[in-house]
A and B are shown apart, each in its own frame.
Chain A
Amino acid sequence: MELLDRYLQAVKKHLPWERQDDIFAELRANLEAQLEDKEAELGRPLTKEEAEEWLKEIGPPIQVAGRYQRQQYLIGPAVFPTYWYVLRLALMWCAIVYAIAKAVDIATHEVSASAIVSAAFYLPWILLINAAIVTLVFAGIEAFGARNPAKCLPFASMGPGWTPAEMRPLEEDSEKKPRSYPKALAEVIVGGVFFVWLLLFPHYPVLWLGPGASALAAIPYKLAPVWWTFYWCCVGINGFELTWKIVGLAGGTWNQVRPVRRLAMHALSLIPLGVLMTAPDHSLFLLKNPVADAAAHGAQIASANKGTETALTIAFAIVVLQLLWGAGKMGLEAWRKRAATQ
């Protein structure tokens, strides 16, 4: 029967090559016997439509041949949990390292919208390449393990030598643990002392420079006026946080953990950084006597301003990333809670 021959030919193409002829001969014998039975029942040969219907019932050639292949996974169930864990870690660190590297690169060259867009555009490709590399490595581990099951205990934690005693100790979730009263009180006291120090140190340089304060008058540099704006921003934020803590302590809400408040305070810290970054002419340090000292110290001042500006840009990028990370975690937690209640 020509149709059966064509069917078997199509199956053969997809059979495992090392056993191809043997399987092909067996399948032919079985299907021919079945065909003979069908024709004997009917008392006539099958029509083309009946033969097509019969072969359709057996299944598409590629699927039938596929059942003779060894069961193979790109990454099997024994390796998959570790693969998934490593993949997530790799992607997270890849994104962080890329973002910091690009931020530094952009800051040290020319900050422009096109450079930022280009950096953001390449991020998915970088992540994709990383994911492909991790997947390839784990597919290699899987393939090696499948061929050498005796030699490859894929991972110690999944091997027969695993013992419960090896498990990591319980991790404390500091974000969910309620704050104790002594801790809340200590935070207010330390915060109060710091706040007083913050208010006093501009008038008493010895409070932050110690004996070195006397050398201040001798150096030819001074801080630019923008530092005063920065200073008052810091005072405002610290005063606000201290007041909040005192109100919490007095109102009996000191034991509550408020991630939104923590995130808001984190966001506020961007203000003083932003003030310094937008200083007029990017000058954070000035010469006390520009006319007299420009020749001797002008280059040093320019270098110090450039270096500080770069450091501020990096710090700003890190704070923004931390902020995004915190907001992302909070969003994910809220989504999980909502999904659990549905």
Chain B
Amino acid sequence: MTVSESLFENLRLELRRGCLTLAVLAQLKQEHYGYTLRKALAARGMEIEESTLYPLLRRLESQGLLTSEWREEEKRNKRFYRLSGEGEQIFARLLEEWNQINTAITNLL
């Protein structure tokens, strides 16, 4: 990888990091377990690696933005996540921030 490619990759990851949280919170208005959440996000154009998504879910839960419960589905125990009450409020504020940034960038371009 050349220096400029490596620089681009770092900047791209930096740009995506915050967006991923927003995407996950948006998708978890409906309940999902890890794998179906990943599929749902990918179906809407937001691909996330397993090694990024699953720890992210844990972190968001520990921050109180998600709630989770173990439940059996198709003869297998799975951990289902959804937005908590606090998560909904934070998500609404983040979405507002996102829209402002999006408008500003669009105006700049």
Contacts and interface: CB of A to CB of B under 8 A. Distances in A.
A207 to B, nearest CB: 70
B34 to A, nearest CB: 4
B54 A33 contact: no
A27 B35 contact: no
B76 interface: yes
Interface in B49-102: 49-52, 54-55, 58, 76-79
Interface stretch (A61-69, A133-141, A189-197, A324-332): A61-69
B35 A64 contact: no
11 contacts: A23-B58, A27-B54, A30-B34, A30-B38, A30-B50, A30-B54, A31-B50, A33-B78, A64-B50, A67-B55, A68-B55
A19 B79 CA distance: 14
- The main secondary structure of chain B at its interface with chain A is helix
Interface string A24-53: 011101111110010000000000000000
A37 B35 CA distance: 10
Given A33-B35, A34-B35, A68-B58, A26 B52 contact: no
B51 A64 contact: yes
A77 interface: no
Interface residues of B, number: 17
A31 B38 CA distance: 11
Contacts, number: 51
Given A29-B77, A29-B79, A59 B49 contact: yes
Could you say which interface size class chain A belongs to?
A: 10 to 19
A58 B51 contact: yes
Interface of A: 19, 23, 25-27, 29-34, 37, 58-59, 63-64, 67-68
B76 A63 contact: no
Closest 10 CB pairs of A and B: A67-B55, A30-B34, A33-B35, A30-B35, A64-B51, A26-B79, A59-B51, A29-B78, A68-B55, A58-B50
A64 B51 CA distance: 5
Nearest to A60: B51
B34 A26 contact: yes
Nearest to A58: B50
A25 B49 CA distance: 18
B52 to A, nearest CB: 7
Given A29-B34, A68-B58, 17 more contacts: A25-B77, A27-B54, A29-B35, A29-B76, A30-B33, A30-B35, A30-B50, A30-B54, A33-B35, A37-B35, A58-B50, A59-B50, A59-B51, A64-B51, A67-B51, A67-B55, A68-B55
